A = this chain, B = another copy of it.
Amino acid sequence: MTKKRAVILSSGGLDSTTVLAMAQQQGYECYCLSFDYGQRHSAELDASVKIADVMGAKEHRIAKLDLSCFGGSALTDMDIAVPEDEEDMGNIPITYVPARNTVFLSYALAWAEVLEASEIFIGVNAVDYSGYPDCRPDFIAAFESLANLATRSGVEGLKLSIQAPLMKMSKAQIIKRGLELGVDYSLTVSCYQADDKGLACGRCESCRLRKQGFVEAKTADTTRYQPV
């Protein structure tokens, strides 16, 4: 029997790597998709390549995006500083990239259609990222509806599912699940300002959430940090 195919949105970070492990464990043939969208550093992309290889993905592609041309986020706009204190941030973090997950899912949809994949996996999480509009269950459900109207597959009655298995998990739960599935978190890069070797700053919002996750999971933090 042919394996069912899944497109996995893979950033090289902790969450999406756990999602890849979950999809593999469920028996999908995994096609990992990463984006070069004008990030400040390439460490995440380097990590995504290595992770897809080590974890046995069927294929890994990096699509180039041009979202930085619209500006509006610290992650792509060099004129906006990455905030290190929680007080700097309003309800919606400045690190939010406009319509990012909509764009990412649209690309995943294009590839899923060509591959005739039945699933798209995305590592969004409504617990730690409650301020991001496009990390909410309603958004994922709306994209699934759209996807099934947008494509040839939808017209032909094939159903495409958008899977967001981390949606309601805490960082500690995600880490525990990943460790059960054999994920090597030292390969993953979550830091907003990792250096070119992928070493984490330990101070940004993403680092703080990740550190706290390892503490709460009561397991060793295998993250590779920059020397202090």
A interface residue numbers (CB < 8 A to B): 61, 63-67, 69-72, 91-92, 96-103, 105-107, 109-111, 113-114, 133-134, 136, 138-139, 142-143, 145-147, 149-152, 154-155
Q: Most chain-B CB neighbours within 10 Å: which of A96, A107, A136, A145?
A: A107
* Residue ID in chain B nearest A131 by CB atoms: B155
Query: What is the copy number of this chain in the assembly?
Result: 2
A102, B146: Cβ atoms closer than 8 Å: yes
Q: Is the interface of A mostly helix, strand, loop or mixed?
A: helix
Q: Which one of B98, B103, B109, B142 contacts A149 once the chains associate, using CB atoms below 8 Å?
A: B142
Shortest A218–chain B CB gap in Å is 35
Hey, which chain B residues are within 8 Å of A133, CB to CB? 149-152, 154-155
A113, B99: Cβ atoms closer than 8 Å: yes
Bound: A109/B105 CA distance, A: 13
Q: Which one of B61, B67, B154 contacts A69 once the chains associate, using CB atoms below 8 Å?
A: B61
Q: Which one of B92, B98, B151 contacts A155 once the chains associate, using CB atoms below 8 Å?
A: B92
A150, B101: Cβ atoms closer than 8 Å: yes
Hey, which chain B residues are within 8 Å of A107, CB to CB? 67, 99, 103
Q: Which one of B66, B69, B101, B152 contacts A96 once the chains associate, using CB atoms below 8 Å?
A: B152
Since A67-B110, A133-B150, A133-B151 are in contact, a sample of 11 more A-B pairs with Cβ atoms closer than 8 Å, ordered by chain A residue number, is A72-B114, A98-B114, A101-B150, A102-B106, A102-B150, A133-B152, A133-B154, A134-B151, A142-B146, A142-B149, A142-B150
Q: Which one of B103, B136, B150 contacts A134 once the chains associate, using CB atoms below 8 Å?
A: B150
**Given known contacts A133-B149, A136-B149, A149-B139, A103 and B106 CB-to-CB distance under 8 angstroms:** yes
